[in-house]
Structure 1
Amino acid sequence: MSLLTFIKQILRRPISSGLLTVGIAVLLWYYLRADPSHAKPAVSRKMHIESIPMWEGSGNNYAYLVTDDKTKDAVIIDPANPSEVLPSLKKAVDGGAKITSIINTHHHHDHAGGNTELLKSYSVPIIGGKDCVKVTKTPSHGETFTIGESIKVKALHTPCHTQDSICYLFEDGEDRAVFTGDTLFIGGCGRFFEGTPEEMDKALNQTLASLPDDTKVYPGHEYTKGNVKFGIKVLQSGPVKKLQAFADSNKQAQGKFTIGDEKQHNVFMRLDDPTVVKFTGQTERVDVMSALREAKNSM
């Protein structure tokens, strides 16, 4: 029975105006309590993350536009190919967004190479590693800053792929995302161009593994298919098979998996797993990491 029908029935009955008012008030309270859908829903705001694919079919990079929905302040992460990034930025700005900074995960051209061109359209600070093009601010490990009113960002130094590699943890209430550049991929990790197996072990299995398990992972490249092709050779576990099935039926995996998932299906984060150890023929963690990376490089 609807609320209106309840009230009409009350109105048909002889009753004093005082009792009528109380009766309607009680009925209204009960009705809304029993059926909350009639009450105005609470507004829930979360950071908005837009993935911008770049060089699809070759580098398969990602840039990311992250916006604080409350203030519309926004940052662009690794906008390496301006011709593919600028249209998305213009659309966002036309919709009310304000670009407040460029963020780089490391200095390689396919991540920081678009900085100079982007500055022609958006005169903003560049936050990134010390070797990034036009960088104006290099946050220290663990340093935090904010975007808009509600997004808290923590810089996490993860040297190995490059010595200036930085991952960024974004938190908006209980919503968490980490932008990992070329340190952590879905089901894999970056090459050790400027670092050592020890450094990658620390980056993955201490720094990033210590994040809350529900933190969503946004890597710098879409390499999932290749990573799981290697991973399934090393470890035929349920989580790895699940990732393989996802990769077989989905083109993109960014933001679909969490740090908790990576601990289960990423062989570079399972250096103590007996099956992984057996595959490498090594016993020490650093040697297991080194052997895994060499095996992946040779695929």
Structure 2
Amino acid sequence: MWEGSGNNYAYLVTDEKTKNAVIIDPANPPEVLPVLKQKTESGDIKLQSIINTHHHHDHAGGNGEILKHYKLPIIGGKDCAHRTETPSHNSTFTVGDSIKVTALHTPCHTQDSICYLFEDGNDKAVFTGDTLFIGGCGRFFEGTAEEMHKALNETLAALPDDTRVYPGHEYTKGNVKFGIKVMQSEPIKKLQSFAEKHKETQGKFTIGDEKLHNVFMRLDDPAVQKATGKSKPVDVMAALREMKNNS
């Protein structure tokens, strides 16, 4: 959504067997509603709920308009517009018969940020909002370096390495431009090459990849510590974010 300005992602996830579906962060109804209308009227999907990763307008700001067309529960953090349910950390719910969703609280970008792990058989995907981007992370608007370190390097890093990452924005080109200044490793060069050739990078990389090419998940790396002049992980995280903000 808002291609060329916000480069936001909204995601429609459907259980193929039951056609039950959820829409994640449908913040721009003029772009989202025509898709939902076509798919619901054709019987391709049965909308089950709206899911929000956090309360910012460019993620939860479309809830009110979507509700005029579809009477749905809204699953999201405590500050999300029209929210009906906030899942507790590590709690689960299902989409249709086969998709299990785990809510992972990752406060920092906002205090109500939640990432959602979707599992269907062996397939795993995590929708990270503005907490984790491909090769980067969100600004610490409502939180601290300590919170982002925990969110990325404890909560999300604990997910299986083959979990595919679906972030809230397409920011990879900018993230890798910063990352390559910090650390000239092969994984970062590979990410740079991919970003130069592809407009969209969502779902193309995994948690395992992020541990290799995302400098915010490599706080113990000597190259990252050297670039920041810090050695304690939380201090490295704070310095990195400050450097990125000013880059």
TM category (shorter chain) comes to over 0.9
Instruction: Kindly indicate which of the two structures has a greater share of residues assigned to helix.
Output: 1
Residues 91-112 of structure 1: per-residue CA shift (max 9 Å, x gap): 2213311111000000000000
Shift of 1:90: 1.3
Q: In structure 2, which of residues 10, 13, 16 is the aligned counterpart of residue 69 of structure 1?
A: 16
Q: How far apart, CA to CA, are the structure 1 residues paired with 2:34 and 2:172?
A: 26
AA aligned opposite 1:126: I
SS at structure 1 position matched to 2:9: strand
SS at structure 2 position matched to 1:211: coil
Residues 243-278 of structure 1: per-residue CA shift (max 9 Å, x gap): 000000000000000000000000000000000000
RMSD: 0.5
Specify the alignment match of 1:228 in structure 2.
176
Listed as ranges, the matches of 1:12-161 within 5 Å are 54-96=1-43, 97-161=45-109
Q: How far apart, CA to CA, are the structure 2 residues paired with 1:218 and 1:202?
A: 19
Residues 68-115 of structure 1: per-residue CA shift (max 9 Å, x gap): 000000000000000000111112213311111000000000000000
Using structure 2 for the length normalisation, give the TM-score: 0.99
| Alignment of 1:208 onto 2:127 | no
Listed as ranges, the matches of 1:254-269 within 5 Å are 254-269=202-217
Q: How far apart, CA to CA, are the structure 2 residues paired with 1:172 and 1:208?
A: 18
Q: How far apart, CA to CA, are the structure 1 residues paired with 2:216 and 2:35?
A: 34
Q: Structure 1: any 5+ residue segments left out of the alignment?
A: 1-53
Pairs aligned (count): 246
Q: How far apart, CA to CA, are the structure 2 residues paired with 1:142 and 1:282?
A: 32
Q: How far apart, CA to CA, are the structure 2 residues paired with 1:151 and 1:95?
A: 22
Q: How far apart, CA to CA, are the structure 2 residues paired with 1:95 and 1:228?
A: 40
Q: Structure 2: any 5+ residue segments left out of the alignment?
A: none
Specify the alignment match of 2:133 in structure 1.
185
Q: Which has the higher contact order (CA 8 A, sep 6+)?
A: 2
Specify the alignment match of 1:217 in structure 2.
165
Q: How far apart, CA to CA, are the structure 2 residues paired with 1:277 and 1:92?
A: 49
Q: How far apart, CA to CA, are the structure 2 residues paired with 1:283 and 1:136?
A: 43
Q: How far apart, CA to CA, are the structure 2 residues paired with 1:92 and 1:173?
A: 24
AA aligned opposite 1:192: F
Using structure 1 for the length normalisation, give the TM-score: 0.82
Specify the alignment match of 1:248 in structure 2.
196
- Greater gyration radius: 1
Residues 127-154 of structure 1: per-residue CA shift (max 9 Å, x gap): 0000000000000000000010000000
Q: How far apart, CA to CA, are the structure 2 residues paired with 1:288 and 1:119?
A: 43
Q: How far apart, CA to CA, are the structure 1 residues paired with 2:38 and 2:212?
A: 38
Q: How far apart, CA to CA, are the structure 2 residues paired with 1:225 and 1:134?
A: 34
Runs of 4+ in 1 over 3 A off after TM superposition: none
Q: How far apart, CA to CA, are the structure 1 residues paired with 2:168 and 2:38?
A: 22
Q: How far apart, CA to CA, are the structure 2 residues paired with 1:214 and 1:222?
A: 20
SS at structure 2 position matched to 1:69: coil
Q: How far apart, CA to CA, are the structure 1 residues paired with 2:206 and 2:40?
A: 30
